[in-house]
A and B are shown apart, each in its own frame.
Chain A
Amino acid sequence: MADMFFGYMRPDGKVGSRNYVAVVPSVVCANEVAEAISNQVMNCRPLLHHQGCCQLPPDLERVTDTLISLACHPNAGAVLVVSLGCEGTDVDRLLEAVAKSGKPYDIVRIQEIGGTANAIADGIKKAQRLSMAISGLQREAFDLTHFVMGIKCGGSDATSGLASNCAIGYVADKIVDQGGTVMFGEVTEFIGAEHILARRARTPEVGEKILRLVDAMETRAKSLGCDMRKGQPTPGNIAGGLTTIEEKSLGAIMKSGSRTIEGVLEYPEMSAGKGGLWIKDTPGREIEILTGMAAGGAQCITFSTGRGAPQGFPILPVIKICGNPNTYARMSNDMDLNAGLIIQGKSSIEEVGEVLYQKLLRTLSGEQCKGESIYYSKSMDIYCMGPVI
């Protein structure tokens, strides 16, 4: 029998692992109102970010596209948009997309309703209606063709590429083999390993695209005329034994497993239902990549670390798997799984991979992750390409 998880069916056919009201500020200036509403109303999660104004048109479009993908994410059972009124993002397009998804939604307009306090009061009433409207939804059983997994490694050290990333790679292969979708990213951490990824591409065109992505990222990194070291690898990576970006990358790609790479997804692009292994065009920093994975429709992120990265996302469970046994012992309140057993020779990659896989199925069905249980959830921002103007 196929492996199953219990999730929430949405009107557009996507399946959620959580059932939140997503409170979506259209611009950074609406964050306070979105946060105040979310603090008052049960099951609300604010998607706070710092974009949406005084940016070049391609970035404004990218921010709108990303907010649309997040608002249409299946973990959001309902959506409350909070608009200031003079933002650069396209609020009409956002509302149209949410309406089309079929989920309940509403909007608060700060300038129109007469300022912050009025907007918060209006928003609390609207969010309360939305929260109650979705509160009775029941979970149903689904196979893994309804699942999108996002992968991330952060706060890496020398154990990451030999233990925790390998266990995630084992799980990634299992999900792809059952018709699920898997996304990995962090293009900066392909530098020095891109030839290996290009060899795994479905077509020569996809292989070329991977090489071009890496070249663009490397050119961007070189543009300030300095050595990238300290930016990548980070001081924490270096203290953990990773000397160069090449060494970090060769360990980082272990988490993608061994299956064929189907293609490259744009940063705001939704991947649900595609099936197979995909690259998400994202940088290495947690807040932007977690957002990119959420925009891609991931209902859960498996997150590998060696140094002890604690990040979480507002509407997603993030499972932390730690490759360093010493870090796991120090930070066991943040780390869900100890892949340090591989380093110590006490467990195989497959054994830890199976434990992770079972934790993943339980998490999709509602079991909390450690970071989630203490509401570690604000590692979010939107990756933009151009300057702030």
Chain B
Amino acid sequence: MQERKLAVQVQPTDNVASIFAEVSAGDVVEVMARDGSVESIPVHEAIPYGHKLALRDIPSGGTVLKYGESIGIATKDIQRGDYVHVHNLDSARARGDWKE
């Protein structure tokens, strides 16, 4: 039997979920929501254990939400099923490199 690929959506408004399995492109991840419901999403690329996938399309400049709160700003257009990490998500805090 193939191991289930599970991810956790912490709050209903979250547009990313953390995956607790190693996944490859084309794998279908089962995203569990707080209310116990499960949504299946095919992933577009390999995602390491503990890292995030997008649950919805997020435009460049859009807010990425986890725990129902902002965890930063998308730096590229992100599609549902994409891997979300430092290559497409930037912090908006403690940015000494940003001009006021």
Q: Please list the residues of chain A having a beta carbon within 8 angstroms of any beta carbon in chain B.
A: 157-159, 161-162, 191-193, 196, 218, 221-229, 232, 238, 240-241, 243-247, 250-251, 306, 324, 326, 343-345
Could you jot down 13 A-B contacts, CB within 8 Å?
Answer: A192-B91, A222-B95, A223-B96, A225-B97, A227-B91, A228-B94, A228-B95, A241-B85, A243-B71, A243-B85, A243-B89, A244-B90, A324-B50
Q: Nearest residue in A to B88 (C-beta to C-beta)?
A: A243
B47–chain A nearest beta-carbon distance, Å: 9
Q: Which residues of B contact A243 (CB under 8 A)?
A: 52, 71-72, 84-86, 89, 91
Q: State the CA gap A74–B72 with chains docked (Å).
A: 43
Q: Nearest residue in A to B66 (C-beta to C-beta)?
A: A247
Q: State the CA gap A247–B67 with chains docked (Å).
A: 8
CB-CB under 8 A for A247 and B94, given A159-B20, A241-B18: no
Is there contact, CB below 8 Å, between A193 and B90? Answer: no
Q: Nearest residue in B to A192 (C-beta to C-beta)?
A: B93
B69 at the interface (CB under 8 A from A): yes
Is there contact, CB below 8 Å, between B91 and A162? Answer: no
Q: List CB contacts (< 8 Å) of B70-100 with chain A.
A: 70-72, 84-86, 89-97
Q: Which residues of A contact B95 (CB under 8 A)?
A: 222, 227-228
Q: Nearest residue in B to A222 (C-beta to C-beta)?
A: B96
A294–chain B nearest beta-carbon distance, Å: 28
Q: State the CA gap A246–B71 with chains docked (Å).
A: 5
Q: Which residues of A contact B86 (CB under 8 A)?
A: 229, 238, 243
Is there contact, CB below 8 Å, between A241 and B51? Answer: yes
Closest A-B pairs by Cβ, 3 of them: A241-B50, A222-B96, A158-B50
Is there contact, CB below 8 Å, between B97 and A226? Answer: yes
Q: Which residues of B contact A192 (CB under 8 A)?
A: 69-71, 91, 93
CB-CB under 8 A for A247 and B50, given A228-B94, A343-B20: no
Q: State the CA gap A131–B42 with chains docked (Å).
A: 64
**CB within 8 A of B92: which of A158, A246, A306?**
A246
Q: State the CA gap A225–B99 with chains docked (Å).
A: 9
Is there contact, CB below 8 Å, between A232 and B94? Answer: yes
A228–chain B nearest beta-carbon distance, Å: 4
Q: Nearest residue in A to B4 (C-beta to C-beta)?
A: A345
B8 at the interface (CB under 8 A from A): yes
**CB within 8 A of A244: which of B6, B18, B71?**
B71
Q: Nearest residue in B to A228 (C-beta to C-beta)?
A: B94
Q: State the CA gap A224–B93 with chains docked (Å).
A: 14
B7–chain A nearest beta-carbon distance, Å: 10
B48 at the interface (CB under 8 A from A): yes
A230–chain B nearest beta-carbon distance, Å: 10
Is there contact, CB below 8 Å, between A158 and B71? Answer: no
Is there contact, CB below 8 Å, between A247 and B96? Answer: no
Q: State the CA gap A238–B49 with chains docked (Å).
A: 12
18 A-B pairs besides A159-B20, A246-B93, A250-B66 with CB distance below 8 A are: A193-B69, A221-B96, A222-B95, A225-B96, A226-B96, A227-B95, A228-B95, A228-B96, A241-B18, A241-B51, A243-B72, A243-B89, A243-B91, A244-B91, A246-B70, A246-B71, A246-B72, A250-B71
**CB within 8 A of B94: which of A191, A240, A241, A345?**
A191
Is there contact, CB below 8 Å, between B97 and A245? Answer: no
Q: Which residues of B contact A241 (CB under 8 A)?
A: 18, 48-52, 85
B23 at the interface (CB under 8 A from A): no
Q: Which residues of A contact B84 (CB under 8 A)?
A: 243
**CB within 8 A of B67: which of A161, A221, A222, A226?**
A161
CB-CB under 8 A for A246 and B69, given A218-B94, A229-B91, A241-B51: yes
Q: Nearest residue in A to B73 (C-beta to C-beta)?
A: A244
B10 at the interface (CB under 8 A from A): yes
Is there contact, CB below 8 Å, between A162 and B71? Answer: no
Is there contact, CB below 8 Å, between B10 and A247? Answer: no
Q: State the CA gap A161–B49 with chains docked (Å).
A: 15
Q: State the CA gap A162–B8 with chains docked (Å).
A: 9
